[in-house]
Amino acid sequence: MPEIVRFYGIVIKMFFKPKEHEPSHIHAIYNEYVGLFNIKTFEMFEGDLPKEGTRISNRMADPAF
């Protein structure tokens, strides 16, 4: 799974294989926590990423970032 960015201690990795691993998503890894985010909605659908890590990860979805 390729790493696409690192910032504020969070590592973002992307998993995108249509029809094989739905929904297409990214992994946000922050210390021992992981959150899986849907690429289309950027909603966390699995994981235990703390609120602060989720807030910082969501900045990546902001086009101005």
Encode the chain (65 residues) as per-residue pLDDT tens digits.
778 888 888 888 887 666 666 777 888 998 999 999 888 888 889 999 888 777 777 776 665 55
- Name the residue among 55, 58, 65, 54 with its Cα closest to residue 41: 58
- Name the residue among 8, 4, 5 with its Cα closest to residue 52: 8
What's the pTM value of the predicted model, to 2 decimals?
0.73
